[in-house]
Chains A and B, each alone.
Chain A
Amino acid sequence: MALRSRARSTRLLVVTLVSISLVTITVDYRQGDDGPLSALGDAALTVISPLQDAVSTFTHPIGNFFSTLFRLPSIRRENETLRDRVAALEQEVATTAADLDRLAELEALLGLQASLGRRAETTAAQVIANGVSNFEWTITIDKGSADGVEEDMPVIANAGLVGHVLQVGPSSSVIRLIIDPDSFVAGRLDASRATGLLSGEGGADLRMGLVESTVEVALDERVVTSGYRIQGVAQSLYPPNILIGTVSRVLPEESALETFVTVRPAVDFSTLDLVLVVLSSDGGA
């Protein structure tokens, strides 16, 4: 008996609660976001959010830990994707930097070409290998006979004289650098106009001989190619007035007749990248 009345009161309770819920739903549905129920919700949120903050402070790391645990596979995948992306971007950055360097070098070469004279024909070439021997100072470039390169053609870089073509292949050539001991370049001191012969010394500075002993040589004086030409007999390999380097040392006189000078090459041969092969020049102005 008591049980039945209890069941009835429970049913009544449930019906009441359900009705309240339905009324709430209806009111909220009709009023949207502006009604008093919304305001009540906002008020409740204001009360509970400090509590939530407090709880979060403690539980956030725990929740994080577990969700991280469950998301490990996707995190790993994401990690891989990101790594790939980083590698690609780094590659891109490196390429961009290299491209910029190349651009700057090409622009400089362009200026150099203009300075060679209007009729000079040149072709830009990429250095693809350095000399293999310890006793030969050569580089290999990616232009050969197919591009019109021939033996003995002068090769320059934006900083100055590089050397001349030693050997020509169909699509590549070997350049003898001016620092090779077998390389001889007729040079001229810029200030005194005195000429001399520069020979390579390998890794060390060039040695300039056959300078008359009466000439006053200053340190840091520029040395350029002299570009002599004896009609029908001989002609220097190099066009005139290309920078070779600067005087680094004036040696004590070894004989009364000539002064020895060492010249630091203007070109840094260890970082050579783009060079210009002079196909034909007007042979000196």
Chain B
Amino acid sequence: MRRTLLLAAVIITALLLQTTVFAELNLLGAKPELLYLVTIVFAILEGPASGAIAGFAGGMAQDFLLDAPKGITALTLTLLGYAMGMARQYIVTPSPILPVFLVAGGTFAGVVFHGVVSFLLGELDTSWLYLFRVALLSALYNAILTPLVYPILRRAAEGSRSRRVLRW
């Protein structure tokens, strides 16, 4: 229950920030993708199931709020959350900057996937070069934001987790 509330709070906060602060913060033609960032961080912290749920919820929320083809972001983020959660399980490294790399790679892959799906649906009318550029820049911005967001979400997630459940 607490985790559902936490998830909702995080997603709404991310959405609000995404549509206000970061909507204006358009650097070199791209902006950070906060929902991607939050999904990946959740997946890293909580595993593939939580990652998929967070991604699905965040993606749906974003799809319905922004005037975009609905479902594409949800699909992307569901898969992204799951994939990142799985990836995290197989990577064994104590490196504290692992989340940064996962976020960067995940965001890039996610944005490109989103672009491909949009393209298949005939909703994308930019060049591939532009898509890759946006994906790279979004990945970079998200990676920069990770050291800020990751500790906050980790603390929140740990606070909301019931003590008896072992961490993955």
Contacts and interface: CB of A to CB of B under 8 A. Distances in A.
Contact of B75 (A10, A22, A45): A22
Interface stretch (A50-58, A182-190, A265-273): A50-58
Contacts of B117: 25
Contacts of B3: none
Interface stretch (A59-67, A160-168, A170-178, A246-254): A59-67
B71 A21 contact: yes
Given A40-B64, A60-B20, A66 B78 contact: no
Contacts of A48: 12, 15-16, 19, 65
A17 interface: yes
Interface in A16-55: 17-18, 20-29, 37, 40-41, 44-45, 48, 51-52, 55
Given A60-B20, A64-B24, A20 B48 contact: no
Which of A13, A22, A25, A28 has the largest number of chain B CB atoms within 10 A?
A25
Contacts of B16: 48, 51-52, 55
A24 B60 contact: yes
Interface size class of B (residues with CB under 8 A): 35 or more
A9 B79 CA distance: 15
Which of B12, B20, B74 has the largest number of chain A CB atoms within 10 A?
B20
B53 A17 contact: yes
B56 A63 contact: no
B101 to A, nearest CB: 23
Contact of A55 (B17, B25, B26, B69): B17
Contact of A41 (B25, B27, B65, B75): B65
B21 A20 contact: no
Nearest to A40: B64
Contacts of A62: 21
A52 B60 CA distance: 18
